[in-house]
Chain A
Amino acid sequence: MTPPRPPTRAGATPLRLRVLVLSLLTVAALYFLLPVYWLAVSATKSSGDLFGTFGLWFADPRPLERLGDLLRFDNHVFLRWSLNSLLYAGGGALAATLLSAAAGYALAKFPFPGRETVFNVVLAGVLLPHTVLALPLYLLFSEIGLVNTYWAVLLPSVVSPFGVYLCRIYATAAVPDSLLEAARIDGAGEARIFRTLGLRMMAPALVTVFLFQFVHIWNSFFLPLVMLSDSDLYPIQLGLTTWQGYADRQPELYQYTVGGAFLSVLPLMLLIGALQRYWRAGLTEGSVKN
C-alpha cells in the first residue's frame, strides 16, 4: 500500500522494504561514484604512486603541487586546451541556443507553406548519427580550406536540430498568439517582438537547450579529432588522449592525464548537480510530448 507522494513517507511502508530499497540504491550509487572517487584520489598522486600504492586511498597527497605541475607543464598547454574547450562549448552552445530559438519560434508561430516538411527534415537531423557526419564534413571542409581552424569545430557545433525541436514545442505551448497579436497592433516589428517577448517567454527552454548543447560540444571527440591537427587548437579531451598515448614513453604524463581528467570533469559535474531542474524540464519535453 503505497500512496504516490505522501507527505510523510516514513511509517507508510514496512521497515524491511525501506531497508531493501535503500541498500539497492546504495549499491547502485557505489557503482556510479566509485570511479569518480578513484579519479579524485588519484589526481593527488604522482605517477610513481599511481602504480605503487593502493588506488582507493591517498598516498602523500599534495593536491596544490600536482595542480601547479599540471598547469605549468609544456608552457601551460592545459590552460590553453581548457580555454579552447570553453570557447567551443560556451560560444557554440550560446550561438546554437539563439539559432534554435529563432528557428523554433518561426516553426511554432508562423504558419507558412511547407512548415511541416521543414520540421521533419530537422527531426531527421536529430536521428542522424553525428560522428557519421564528421567524416564527410571533414572532406567538405578540407575542400574549402576550413580544416584545422577554430571554425571547423565551431560551425558544426552551432547547429542543434534537437534544440530547434525543443524550442518549437516550447514556443507553441508557452508563447500565446494573442500576446504577439497585441504587440503587432502596437506597431512592434517581428524582430523586436521576438527579442522582447519570444526570447523572454522561451527562457526556461533556452536554458535547457544551452545545457544540452554545452555538454554535447564539451563531450564531442570525433569532430575535433578529424578536424584539428594543430595541438594549439585542441579541446581538453583531445589533448588528454595525446598525453595518454605518450604516457608509456614519458611516465609523468600518467599523472598529468589523471589530474587533467579530474579538472576537466569538475565544472561539468557541478553544472549537472546544480541545474538538474532544467535537465528534467528538457527531458520531459523531449520524451513525453512527441
Chain B
Amino acid sequence: MAPPNARGPRRTGRTGHTGHADYTGRTGLTRRTGLTHRTGLTHRTGLTHRTGRARHTRSAAGFLLPFGALFLLTFVAPIAYALYESLLKPTRSGPLGLGGTGTAFAGLDNYAHALDDGLFLTGFGRVLLFAVVQIPLMLLLATALALLLDSASARWVGFFRTAYFLPYGVPGVIASILWGFLYVPGISPLVELARGVGADVDFLSQSTVLWSIANIVTWQFTGYNMLVLIAQLKSVPGELYEAARIDGASAWQTARHIKLALIRPALVLTTVFSIIGTIQLFAEPMVLKPLAPAIDSGYTPNLHAYHQAFKSNNQHAAAAEAVLIALVACVLSFGFLRLVGSQRERDR
C-alpha cells in the first residue's frame, strides 16, 4: 500500500504514513472520505498518536518558519527594542559633557517627560477629537451609500460602487498633495468658486485645517468601508429579505430593522480599524504642513514622535512616545470592543 512515490521518495519516508495515522485516529476522516482501507495502516505501522503529532508539529514549524522569523524581526523585536530604548537616557561624561556620550538607565523618566509635554498631549487630544467626529461621519456616509446601493431602487450599481471605492487607490500622501492643491488659494478651483458666490473660505486656518484633514481621510476611506458593509449585506441569505417583504415590510423598514442589524459586526470592525488609523495620523498633516502654519511639530502624536527622533535626535523619547501611541491605540480599540460586547450582552 502506498508505495514510495518515485518523484518524492525522500519526503515519503519522513511524513507520509505517520501523518495519516494521526489523522485517522483523531478526526475520523476516513468515514467521510470512504477510504476505510487506510485504517489498516495504523495497525501495521504501529505508530502512536504521539509520533504523528510530533511530525505534524515539525511540518507546521517548517511552514511557519519563514513568516515567523520575519514576524519576530519586524514586529516583536522592534517592540522589545522600543521598550528597552524607552528606559534609557543619554549621558555625557567629562568636563562640560565633552568626554563622549553614553546611555544610562532612566527608569520611566522618558514616559514622565512625554506625559508632561503639553505639545504631545495636545496632539493626542486633537486626534481623539478627530476620531470622535470623523469616524462616525465617515461610517454614517459609508452605511448610507451601502444601503442605497443595495436597495432595489438603485441603478448603475457597478459604476457607483467603483467610483466610491476609487479613492482608496490614491495613497494618503498623494491624496494630501491633491487636496492640498484644492485647498490653497490661487490654485484651487473650490476657493475660486466660493469667492465667485461671495464666500471667503480658508481651508487651512487654525480652526479649519483639522477638518480639512478629516475631509481627506473621509474621501479616501469611505468607499473602502462601504465595500466592507456591502460584502456583509451580500452574505445575508435572500430568503430573509423575502420573508420581510412577505410580512409587508417597506424598503425603509427592511433597511432600518434588518440590514442595519446585520451589518453591525462589520461596523464594529471598521470602527476599530478607523480608530487605529486615526491614532497614527501622520502623512496628511506632514504634507499639509508647508501650506498651513497652524500645523505645528506636535500636531499629531506620530508627528511629535517623528520630530523627537529626527529633528531633536532624541531616540529615547521617541521610543517612549511610540510605545505610548501603541498603548493608546490598544486601549481604545479593545475598550470599544468591550463596550460593544457588553452592550450586546444586555440586548440578549
Contacts and interface: CB of A to CB of B under 8 A. Distances in A.
Interface string A27-43: 01101110110110010
Given A133-B74, A181-B35, A2 B151 contact: yes
A46 to B, nearest CB: 13
A283 B227 CA distance: 7
Given A110-B60, A136-B78, A287 B309 contact: no
A188 B5 contact: yes
Interface of B is mostly: helix
Interface in A39-82: 39, 42, 50-51, 54-56
Interface string B224-235: 000110111011
Interface in B253-300: 254, 265-266, 269-270, 272, 276, 279-280, 282-283, 286-287, 290
B71 to A, nearest CB: 5
Contacts of A127: 272, 276, 329-330, 333
Interface string A94-132: 000001101101110011110100100010010111111
A3 B162 CA distance: 24
B171 A221 contact: yes
Contact of B179 (A33, A35, A161, A245): A35
A218 to B, nearest CB: 6
A112 B192 CA distance: 65
Contacts of B41: 185
Contact of A241 (B164, B287, B302): B287
A143 B279 CA distance: 27
B4 interface: yes
B19 A184 contact: yes
B81 A13 contact: no
B75 A133 contact: yes
Contacts, number: 365
Highest count of chain B CB atoms <10 Å: which of A32, A51, A186, A244:
A32
Interface string A251-290: 0001001100100110011011100100110011011101
8 contacts: A100-B67, A131-B282, A135-B305, A136-B319, A137-B78, A185-B41, A186-B5, A215-B168
Interface of A: 1-6, 9, 12-13, 17-18, 20-22, 24-25, 28-29, 31-33, 35-36, 38-39, 42, 50-51, 54-56, 99-100, 102-103, 105-107, 110-113, 115, 118, 122, 125, 127-133, 135-140, 143, 155-156, 158-159, 161, 164, 177-178, 181-182, 184-192, 194, 215, 218-219, 221-222, 226, 237-238, 240-241, 244-245, 248, 254, 257-258, 261, 264-265, 268-269, 271-273, 276, 279-280, 283-284, 286-288, 290
Interface of B: 1-5, 7-12, 14-17, 19-20, 23-24, 26-27, 29, 32-33, 35, 38, 41, 53, 56-57, 59-64, 66-68, 70-71, 73-75, 77-79, 81-82, 85, 141, 145, 148-149, 151-156, 159-175, 177-182, 186-189, 192, 219, 222-223, 227-228, 230-232, 234-235, 238, 241-242, 245, 248, 250-251, 254, 265-266, 269-270, 272, 276, 279-280, 282-283, 286-287, 290, 302, 305-306, 309-310, 315, 318-319, 322, 325-326, 329-330, 333
